[in-house]
Structures are given as structure tokens and as C-alpha cells.
Amino acid sequence: MAKDFETMEDSNRSANPSIHALSDPARRLWLQGGLGALASGALAPWLAACASGASAGPLLGFQGIAASSADALRVPEGYVAEVIAPWGEPVGIPGAMPAWREDASNTAAEQALQMGMHHDGIHFYPLDGGSSRGLLVMNHEYVDDGLLHPDGMKTWSAEKVKKAQAAHGVAVIEIELHEGRWQMVRPSRFARRFTASTPFVVQGPAAGHALMKTAADPEGRTVRGTLNNCAAGRTPWGTYLSGEENWAFYFDGGEAITPDQKRWGLRKSGFYRWGEHDPRFDARQHPNEFHRFGWIVEIDPMDPASTPVKRSALGRAAHEGAWVAVTKDGRAVVYSGEDARFEYIYKFVSRDRIAPGGAKTNRELLDHGTLYVARFGADGTGRWLPLIHGNGPLTAAHGFADQGEVLVKTRQASDALGATKMDRPEWLAIDPQRREVYCTLTNNSARGGKDMPGVDAANPRASNVMGQIIRWREEGDFDGLAMRWDHLVLAGDPANARAEAQGNVKGDIFACPDGLMLDARGVLWIQTDAHASQMNQGEFARIGNNQMLACDRTTGEVRRFLTGPVNCEITGATLTPDGRTMFINVQHPGETSSDRSDPDEPNRFSRWPFGGRPRSATVAIRRRDGGPIGT
């Protein structure tokens, strides 16, 4: 999560009502009753079917650990966690491996060859078909300029903007297990960095659209850079999908912000001050540059010569990430959510089947298909609404001239169709056998506030600071237009005085669910992202630092597996094929309430991981006896 969305003005001022208008109080309380209440209602057949497929033995084979406020990363007894690939380490591009400097004096050119800041979504791609060597591909979501530069933002220059841009994007590194420890392989022919300046090709219906054309790119088909990349998915054909999330913060809007720009959260001045030295990010000079971010990016990590692609058919949004399911007839279904208050959940269904042959034979698969937005009904059912030009209000008379404009204005199109305004949809996880999809709704303190949407069935708590996990089962196949849904869990602490902050967690308490991963055994791994301004105080007093937990979906038990250092976010999770190593990311240890550190006290809150300047980093977790994680 880049910046604290709980302090930002809401951009969704659309007139379509939140579905609380369709839901009576008794129904909302029934939903809050958890799985026990649901089992006696309309979803009973589904829950019974899920239970019948349960494993005969216990899924959670580790002893849960206590909550912690220590500046340390803690794992259960019998496990070891080792830091690899921290911010500033050279990624291993042959002949270009500048060393990290503790005083943050690395240049922009050096940073472009090093691990970026604020590691996030991550996936492991095996080499040689095994589990001891492979590629890690990960996002670098945003930067803390107070840590990135020796004097922070006390002075500001074009060089500092270039360095900040170089610290964004995506990294590809090669790693291997050597004598029981994971380490980076350097140099590596696979090593790459994608930054906020790397050329990306645009494909799909918005490619070449008038709204995508700029003076520097009159064809509207090549964009410099990707930024604010958050969560990530791995495709069945071997590529990496990265979501461009809170990109609006990077642009200066000036005084005359249009209604369309305001709907996307454009402000007078960007938080990162890029527009002062890079005119691309001044929306007054280059208004269409604003349309060229917010897409799902596809990268082929196995081909070092490949050009990354922005897939416009998947829609423009504050994308948390993208996750792929496969229909019975072999088509791809891509789920995604927008990490912003009162925004939406989407799915894209490809027109064509996944072809054998990997990335090269599927290079246009995500350019053709149908994008949908979700409406969650008060009765536990839901519908997928097609975002197709000509469908209902999606016509030229309502501001949508063609399909390209529908996709550039995905939020406005979703407003027009009456989609459900959600409590910050973040990561998703997909169970292909049950056709279940899980989505974290991290929090929404504005829910039920003055002039804000009230509670509804899918988002049942006012001033929702704790968040929840919603799940649905597609009726028929993943391409179906109907679903049935419920809540897996409402996060919180039962000791809180306020009912909306108590939750119904069975087991170890937590707040603000964010990252999700479903492993091969069916364990749902949950990562949390409470903000520095919340942790270890008030209603969060007993919850501790951000953490990672495991959920047995059959019993509902949640067990704490890992706790992170002070003010970090725990994010990104991936396993080797043998399940014996888990990689996670620790993002922004020592974060301040303002999201920007004081350069005179860079380690005021944290010295993780090495005792000096705090650095985001990837962590490899293994059992000391070499067994599978979590068993």
C-alpha cells in the first residue's frame, strides 16, 4: 500500500447507491454471525460440499507465536528466516553491479541497477524444473524519500527525481539454495530492473486511443515506466502480472482539475514532487500521461530480451494486483481489485483458450475478452456486470465513445453500472477445485461516515478499521455471471469495546488483512497491513506489529506464523514447488505516520534488518528439519 489510504479524500462520489439500500438490518446481523449462521441458510449446500473435501489430518502443523511489538522478524520454533535481496543490493546484471552505500549516496544510475525500495508482490519461477534454483520477480511499490537520499527532501532536484523513479518498478533476480542457504546468483543473464522510465508497450483496446496519445508518444502505444506496483500474479503460461496501484499521487493537477481527473484522485500537487522536474507528471502540461498508468503489466521473466506490456483489456484502476484462474475449457480468468475506499472488484474472461508453448504463444491472450465488475447482493448472491461499450449507460451519450474509453474510464463505467463499493479490495486467492475466490478488504474508516456510503451486506461494519475477507463461489465455471458469497472472517479483537472492531476471528487475532496466498494443501496464508499510525495503540493495542497467519478454511482456525519488525508491512508470499521454502517480503520497516522518514534520524523506529538504515527485503523461510512449510 503506497501512502495511507485511510487519510486520503475519497474519489468515489458517484451517485449509484451502496447496496445497504437493499439490505435490512436483520440480514446484516445474520451475515456477521459467521459460518455457523450461514450454514443454516442459503449457502448450506455449498458449505457442506466444502467440508466434505477437507483433509483428514490437521492442516496447521506449527505452534502459533505470540503477537509482538519488537523490532525483529519472528517465526515459530523449528523455523529459520534469512534475509536476501534487500533494497540497494545489485540485482546481478552482468558488468553493472554497484554496491549499496549505507549513507544513501548511491546515484540514480546505480539505483536503476539495484533492488528497488518497498518490496511487494513476489513469485518464484523454477529453473531446471526443481526447487533449489530459480528466479524471484518482485514489485518495488514506492519510496521513502527520507531514506532514499542523504538529506531527504530538504533539497530537491532532477537527479533525486530520477533516483526515486529508479527505485520503483519490478526486479528479476536469480537465486539458488547453496549449502542450506538461499543466495543471489550474480551475475545472471536473467537479472533485470524495470523502473518508472523503462519503455512499456500498450496492447489491447486502449492501445493507440486518443486518450493515450501524448506529444512524446503520438501513437499512444509506448509508455515510459511503471510505478506504484503492488501485488502480483503468476500466469499458467509463465509470466508475471503486476498491478499499478496508487499512481495518481505522482501527478500535479494544479487548480483546474477536471471531474474525470478528480474521480481518479488527482490533486493540486503530487506527494512525490516528480512534476517539478519531470513534466510528464504535470497533468496540466500532459493530461493524457495521467491515463497511461493504472494498468496491469505483464512481464516474461524467462526472456531477458522481452518488452513488458500494459494490458489495457484488463481495465484501468488502482490495481492491487491480478490473479489467474482457468475455465474448464482452458480460458484465462483474471481477478483484480482496487485498493481504495469504495472502489471495485473486477474479473476479465479471455476470448481464447490458453495455448501450449508458454509466453510466446499467449502473447495476445489478455488482449481479447470481456471485463466485468462485481455487484454483491444483500441475499448472499452476486452478479458480474459486463463493462462493454453499448451495455446500458456505457454509450457515447454518457461519455463513453468506444470500448477504449470504457477501459480508460473503468471507474466511471463501474459507477454507471451500479457496482458495489467495497472496503479497499486488495489481494485475492483462488481455489481452482472449489471455484472459490477470496479477497481481502483491508479497512475503510469512512464507511458510514457523514456523506459516505453506509454499511451493506458485503461491507457490514461502520468505521471499519479492522477489515474482513470476503469469498465467493462462481456458479458454473469461473466465467459464470452469477456467484454466491459470504465472509470467511471479520478481523478484529474481541476485547475491544466497540462492536465494529471486535470481529469474529477464531484463534489468533489480527487486523487489516492484505496479502493472501493459498498453498497446495489448501491453507490460506494471510498477511496484514495496519498503518504505523494505528499499530500497538487504541483498538490495535493487543494485535502487535504486522504479521502473517495461516487459516484452516475447514475449521476456521487462524494461527499466527510470523511477526515483522516495527512499523513494517508483511507482504508477498510464494513457495518453491516442493513447498519447503517460503519467500515473503518485509516492506517499509520503521515507517513513520507521515510515510516519509526524517533523514536526520533514518533509523528512529527500526534498524531492521542489519542494524543500520532500515531496508525493505525479501526473506527466505525454511524448516530446520527441511520439511514442508506449515506442516
Q: 376: domain CATH number?
A: 2.120.10.30
pLDDT above 80 (res 480): yes
Cβ-count burial 466-477 (b if 16+ within 10 Å, e if not): bbbbbbbbbeee
Beta pairing, strands 345-353 & 436-441:
unpaired
In a domain, 236, yes or no: yes
Tell me if 631 is assigned to some domain.
Answer: no
Cα separation, 168 vs 119, whole angstroms: 9
**What is the per-residue pLDDT for 189?**
98
Residue 129 confidence (pLDDT): 87
Q: What is the residue range of 562's domain? A: 5-623
Determine the pLDDT at residue 55.
44
The answer to whether 238 and 390 are in contact (CB under 8 A) is: no
Q: Using an 8 Å Cβ cutoff, are 200 and 215 in contact?
A: no
Radius of gyration of the chain (CA): 23
Q: Reduce the DSSP state of residue 44 to 3 states and report it.
A: helix
- The share of the chain scoring above pLDDT 70, in percent, equals 91
The answer to whether 467 and 457 have CB atoms below 8 angstroms apart is no
**Model pLDDT for residues 545-578, shown as the tens digit of each residue:** 999 999 999 999 999 999 999 999 999 999 999 9
Quote the pLDDT of residue 52: 35
> What φ, ψ does residue 476 adopt, rounded to 5°?
85, -115
DSSP H stretches of helix in 266-334: none
Contacts of 537 (CB under 8 A, 6+ apart): none
Rounded distance, CA 579 to CA 525, Å? 13
Handedness of CA 451, 457, 458, 462 (dihedral sign): positive
> How many helices (H) and strands (E) in the chain?
9, 31
Average pLDDT over residues 491-501: 98
**83 domain residue, yes or no:** yes
> Residue holding cell 481464447?
352
pLDDT at 357 over 80: yes
- Tell me which residue has cell 527520507: 146
Write the CB contacts of 36 (distance below 8 Å, at least 6 apart in sequence): none
Q: Confirm if 584 and 618 have CB atoms less than 8 A apart.
A: yes
pLDDT higher than threshold 60 for residue 544? yes
C-alpha cell at 168: 520503483
Rounded to the nearest 5 degrees, what angle is found at the Cα of 420, between the Cα atoms of 418 and 424? 140
> So what's the pLDDT on residue 39?
34
* Eight-state DSSP code of residue 82: E
Average pLDDT over every residue of 283-306: 98
197 CB neighbour count, 10 Å cutoff: 18
Q: Are 151 and 137 in contact (CB under 8 A)?
A: no
Cell matching residue 104? 544513501
CB half-sphere exposure, 231, CA atoms < 13 A? 30
pLDDT at 33: 31
Residue 628 lies in a domain: no
Q: Is the confidence at residue 503, as pLDDT, over 90?
A: yes
pLDDT score recorded for residue 613? 98
Query: Which region among 37-41, 209-213, 326-330 has the lowest average model confidence (pLDDT)?
Result: 37-41
Is residue 503 included in any domain, yes or no? yes
**pLDDT band with cut points at 50, 70 and 90 for residue 38:** very low
**What is the rounded distance in angstroms from the CA atom of residue 423 to the CA atom of residue 466?**
10
Which of helix, strand or coil describes residue 276?
Answer: helix
> For residue range 387-445, what is the model confidence (pLDDT) as tens digits?
999 999 999 999 999 999 999 999 999 999 999 999 999 999 999 999 999 999 999 99
Q: Is residue 289 part of a domain?
A: yes
Looking at the chain, the whole-number percentage of residues with pLDDT higher than 90 is 90
Residue 75 to residue 62: CA distance in whole angstroms: 10
Residue 12 has pLDDT above 90, yes or no: no
Query: Please, are residues 500 and 447 in contact by the beta-carbon 8 Å criterion?
Result: no
Residues 331-348: b if buried by 16+ CB within 10 A, e if exposed: bbbbbbbbbbbbbbbbbb
Q: What is the pLDDT of residue 2?
A: 47
163 is a domain residue = yes
In this predicted structure, the answer to whether residue 343 has a pLDDT above a threshold of 50 is: yes
With beta carbons less than 8 A apart as the criterion, state whether 53 and 42 touch. no
Q: In this structure, what C-alpha cell is assigned to residue 362?
A: 499467449
- Say if 585 falls within a structural domain: yes
- The number of folded domains in the chain is 1
Sign of CA dihedral 81, 82, 88, 90: negative
**558: helix, strand or coil:** strand
pLDDT in tens, 218-244: 999 999 999 999 999 999 999 999 999
| Residue 536 near residue 564 (C-beta atoms within 8 A) | no
- Asked if 118 and 572 touch (Cβ cutoff 8 Å), the reply is no
C-alpha cell at 456: 451493506
| φ, ψ (nearest 5 deg) of residue 22 | -100, -5
CA-CA distance, 135 to 450, in Å (whole number)? 48
Give the Cβ contact number of residue 555 at 10 Å: 15
Contact between 408 and 212 (Cβ < 8 Å) = yes
CA distances to 87, 136, 606 from 609, in Å: 11, 20, 9
| Long-range Cβ pairs for the range 11-15 (8 Å, 24+) | 11/262, 11/263, 11/264, 11/265, 11/340, 11/411, 12/263, 12/340, 12/341, 12/342, 12/343, 12/411, 12/415, 12/421, 13/263, 14/263, 14/412, 14/415, 14/416, 15/415
Name the pLDDT band for 57 (thresholds 50, 70, 90): low
pLDDT, position 277: 98
3-state helix vs strand vs coil in the chain, percent to 5: 15, 30, 55
Q: Are the beta carbons of 281 and 162 closer than 8 angstroms? A: no
Helix, strand, or coil here: 540? helix
**Parallel, antiparallel or unpaired: strands 557-563 and 506-507:** parallel
For residue 429, the model assigns a pLDDT of: 98
Q: What is the Cα–Cα distance from 485 to 489, expressed in whole angstroms?
A: 12
Give the other-Cβ count within 10 Å of 273's Cβ. Answer: 18
